[in-house]
Structure 1
Amino acid sequence: MAFTENYAILNDFPLFWDLALIAQGKYASRFHRDLPSRFGVVPRYGTEVRWFEADPTYVLHFANAYEDGDEIVIDGFHQGCPEPADPRGEGVYQRMFRFLALERMETRLHRWRLNLVTGQVKEERLSERFTEFGMINPNLGGQPYRYTYAATQRPGWFLFDGIVKHDLHTGSEERYALPEGVYGSETAMAPRPGATAEDDGYLVTLTTDVNADRSECLVFDAARLTDGPIARVRLPERISSGTHSTWAAGSALPGWHDGKSML
């Protein structure tokens, strides 16, 4: 789901389990191009749902949403092919990962505008690059914003091989590529205390290096992603390739300063 200052936005996409196969104890999702995508807008302090219809797709993750005059703006990762073809002749992992391979699902950053007065929906593609797992400055959740920090993926695999900074005002993009065999996680944005700009802060990701059998926490200057990490923290053990993440200031955690809490 997504949210703005005054609304929560639910979704109903035309990708769901094949009921005939469930009756046989099998699970397979089917995409129905003859059905629309639907967004349910609910006042955050109310109960009445208003539905908006858009072109059929599937969205695994939204980046942010906000109000712009009479419109609700929703940014998320639109799938051009939510039901990728089974790659015949390939191995079991390739067949399994086709529903997680960004280039096969054709996952791109996308924008929907829901007009609360006319009921119309307008859509636009924000990027031609395949990315997913977008993160923003957490201080701007539900508010107008400029930057999304997303992951690129090794083709055919659920492995993040780089970070992209999407500038939604100019349409420009910056990418940092991780070394071969090193894979990251969803990249959290940590605003710098006293920050004066949206990208005045740090990007934090956890990596898995399958070559050296180790993991690190990498820290980037969010305003200078392509300069590479400004700090590295070696983890005591190698961790699995990660997906979701978040950032919380130590001051927000009870007991953090007395050593009783850990982040």
Structure 2
Amino acid sequence: MTSSISRLPSNTLRHQDAATEKPLAAANKPVIKMAGQPPTPPAPKLIIGQHQRTLPSSSNPNPIPLLSFFTALITSKLSNPPLPSSVDPELVLAGNFAPVDETPPTDCSVVHGQLPSSLDGVYIRNGPNPHLRPRGLAHHLFDGDGMLHSIRLSRGRATFCSRYVQSYKLKLERENGCAMIPSVFSGFYCLADVGRLVVALARVVTGRINLAQGFGLANTSVALFCNTLFAMIETDRPYAIRLTENGDIETTGRFDFGGEAPINMTAHPKVDSETGEVFSFQFFPFFPYLTFFRFDSNGSKRQKVPIFSMKKASYIHDFALTKRYAIFPESQLEVSAMNLMALKGMPMKFRPTAQPRIGIIPRNAESDSEMRWFTVPGFNAFHIINAWEEEDEDSIVLVVPRALSLENFLGRIEKVHFSLQKLRINMKSGAISSTLLSERSLELGSINAAYLGKKNRYLFMAVAEAVPKMSGVVKIDLESGREVASRSYGPGCFGGEALFVARDGAGDEDDGFVVSYVHNEMANESQFVVMDAKSPALEVVAAVRLPGRVPYGFHGLFVGEKQLETVEPWPTGLSST
């Protein structure tokens, strides 16, 4: 059952691509030049169709003479080899992956249908949006400063806003007018890349960079815990954010759980809806690679469990939580600092001989000795949509998009097929079985949040074109094990994560809406689309024309109006860094 929404209207206001657009702001700092130093190159142009946009250069001279000398030497003496297409900024930052400017709160028009009264609240989605244009530097899609795109819905009206997360890295680079903390994730490809890291380390030594204040991009997800909204990334601590009454977004600070949090944590923490406890983990490139921890509802640490039985830096992005267990999926991707030092690109490598495992540990465990590992050949998963314990308490069920052809994940993600499967693990016998739920490539999905960690029936999954660029939505019935509804966004139209929002007072699990930002690449226009989750064709009940283009991004969250009234800008009684 497949339907298609009509092409997005072509008269939406163009944003970020018009000739009258202002360039991204860069600090106008005085520059000290060394004798013989080459002149600062003009800021490069980002070409989008017939329009061009000037972005600040990421390689302005450094105001400290010695560091300026080394920066100039690196730029002028060490030539960069051709970059792989996956990290070539001219290719990566093209089309609707190109960065946009901030948009202040702006009223929007409903161009189709009517916004449901039970949908009053805020939808807010995170994603990468580099504020500096990489000049001759590698840039992976997953890099880029975090930008939050929110739409506030109230009594049939909509207000849209886009704001950068005010991370330490962003503020530091704006103050200095140049890139200060190099992107390690995009990789090292020549000696110049190593040289830039040396310069950054020199800035740390001289006190120009204080890593204790942060180093991440805050570009992956939005989470609500300790009664506060956070922008998240797995390589740093979370940043608390505040939504104002007029629809604006403010960053209130970097949160460290009162000094008890590790230096980084997953972008996908889990909250027990009954106790308010927060469960999370730290994945780290050095041993111990995995540390499981939890906090109470006030943000005070309860327990930290280093997982010493994990002997390799097998990449773990997400985990699952059931009534009694936490579940961690190892993959065949391994973090490798040697890849960087050997100038082989990104700090990850695919290990075809590695045997993926699923680790299951009691969620109230006190030591690694309680962790059990189950080997599942070829099982690579980055997100777990849901997991629960069966009534006999002998089996655990996981619903997971399994990544096939994983060797393409970092370079040619469009070649990775995400096979949605239901995996059953017998905790007594160790037997594992799996059921294929769809032939399509499905990722970036959601469930009714009230069923997190409990047996549920329905999933809403985005159809993968090239994650995070998604061509439609599919509804899966876990009881029948098949698709029961689907919707294509139409030719040239792509969305992102399919987020389910339950209707107020709903009795049925699937009574609600599926929402996403959808971009029309032919008209270069974006909409906020609301679909009826119970409809056999996921009918569009409302579409809001947005004042600007919304780049493809990662994960989002909906906060209802009643809950929004109780959200605090900062967890009570806890400090920031």
Pairwise TM-score range, normalised by the shorter structure: 0.7 to 0.9
Q: Which residue of 1 aligns with 2:547?
A: 236
Distance 2:558 2:361 in 1: 27
1:238 is displaced (CA, Å) by 1.6
Q: In the alignment, what sits opposite 1:137?
A: 448
Q: SS state of the match for residue 8, structure 1?
A: strand
Which has the higher mean CA deviation after the structures are superposed, 242-251 or 192-201? 242-251
| Corresponding position: 1:14 with 2:339 | no
| Unmatched segments (≥5 aa) in structure 2 | 1-318, 568-577
- Deviation of residue 40 (structure 1)? 1.3
Q: Does 1:36 align with 2:355?
A: yes
Deviates more, 1:189-198 or 1:122-131: 122-131
Aligned equivalent of 1:83: 407
Map 1:64-79 onto structure 2 (within 5 A): 64-68=386-390, 69=392, 70-79=394-403
Deviations 1:108-129 (A, max 9, x none): 1012222221223222322221
Once the two structures are superposed, residues 86-114 of structure 1 have per-residue CA deviations (whole angstroms, 9 ceiling, x without a partner) of: xxxxxxxxx94x1x22xx22211012222
CA displacement at 1:23 relative to structure 2: 2.4
Q: Any idea what the Cα deviations from partners look like across 1:178-199, whole Å, max 9, x if unmatched? A: 1222211202111111212111
Are residues 239 and 219 of structure 1, via their aligned partners in 2, closer, same or farther at CA, if it must alter by over 3 Å?
Answer: same
Partner residue of 1:163? 473
1:59 aligns with one of 381, 395, 405? 381
Q: 1:220 to 1:157 in 2, by over 3 A?
A: closer
Secondary structure (helix, strand or coil) at the match of 1:170 reads coil
Q: Is the partner of 1:237 in helix, strand or coil?
A: coil
Once residues 395 and 488 of structure 2 are traced to their aligned partners in structure 1, the CA distance between those partners, rounded to angstroms, is 36
Secondary structure of the 1:243 match is: coil
User: Which of the numbers 484, 487, 490 marks the counterpart of 1:179?
Assistant: 490
Checking the alignment, whether the CA contact within 8 Å between 1:206 and 1:242 is kept in structure 2 is no
2:520 to 202, 209, 212: 209
Structure 2 counterpart of 1:78, one-letter code: R
Aligned AA (2:395): E
* CA displacement at 1:207 relative to structure 2: 1.3
Q: Which structure's CA Rg is the greater one?
A: 2
Partner SS state of residue 242, structure 1: coil
Percent of pairs identical after alignment? 30
**CA separation of 1:157 and 1:220: change in aligned 2, threshold 3 A:** closer
Give the Cα separation in 2 of the matches to 1:227 and 1:41. Answer: 36
Which is strand-richer, 1 or 2? 1
Q: CA deviation at 1:250?
A: 1.9
| 2:400 partner letter | G
- Aligned-partner SS, 2:537: helix
Give the CA RMSD over aligned residues. Answer: 2.2
SS in 2 for 1:226: coil
Letter in 2 for 1:122: S
Distance 1:157 1:106 in 2: 10
Secondary structure in 1 matching 2:501 = strand
TM-score by length of 2: 0.40
* 8 A contact 2:338–2:347 mirrored in 1: no
Supply the AA of the counterpart residue of 2:457: R
Kept in 2, the 8 Å contact 1:134–1:148? The answer is yes
User: Does the 8 Å CA contact 2:385/2:447 hold for their aligned counterparts?
Assistant: yes
State whether residues 39 and 53 of structure 1, in contact with CA within 8 Å, keep that contact through their aligned partners in structure 2. Answer: yes
Q: Which moved more, 1:32-41 or 1:72-81?
A: 32-41
* The one of 406, 427, 443 aligned to 1:116: 427
TM normalised by structure 1 equals 0.84
Question: Structure 1: which 5+ residue stretches go unaligned?
Answer: 86-94, 257-263
Q: Quote how far apart the aligned CAs of 1:225 are.
A: 5.2
1:213 positional shift: 2.7
Name the structure 1 match of 2:111: none
Deviation at 1:226, TM superposition (A): 1.3
SS where residue 83 of structure 1 aligns? helix
- Give the AA of the match of 1:117: K
Q: Which amino acid aligns with 1:10?
A: F
Structure 1 247/59 Cα, relative in aligned 2: closer, same or farther at 3 Å? Answer: same
User: Are 2:468 and 2:553, in contact at CA under 8 Å, matched by a contact in 1?
Assistant: no
1:90: which partner in 2? none
Contact between 2:443 and 2:463, CA under 8 Å: does it hold in 1? Answer: yes
> Secondary structure at 1:203's aligned position in 2?
strand
Residue 50, structure 1, aligned to residue 360, structure 2: no
Q: Is this contact kept in 1: 2:335–2:349, CA < 8 A?
A: yes
2:506 aligned with 1:188, yes or no?
no
CA contact (8 A) 1:61 1:77 kept: yes
Give the 3-state SS of the residue equivalent to 2:385 in structure 1. strand
Which one-letter code corresponds to 2:388 in the other structure? Y
Query: Could you tell me which amino acid in structure 1 is paired with residue 361 of structure 2?
Result: V
Q: CA 1:206/1:110 → structure 2, altered by over 3 Å: closer, same or farther?
A: same
Where does structure 1 differ by over 4 angstroms across 4 or more consecutive aligned residues?
none
The answer to whether the Cα contact below 8 Å between 2:419 and 2:439 also exists between their aligned partners in 1 is: yes
Paired positions, count = 242
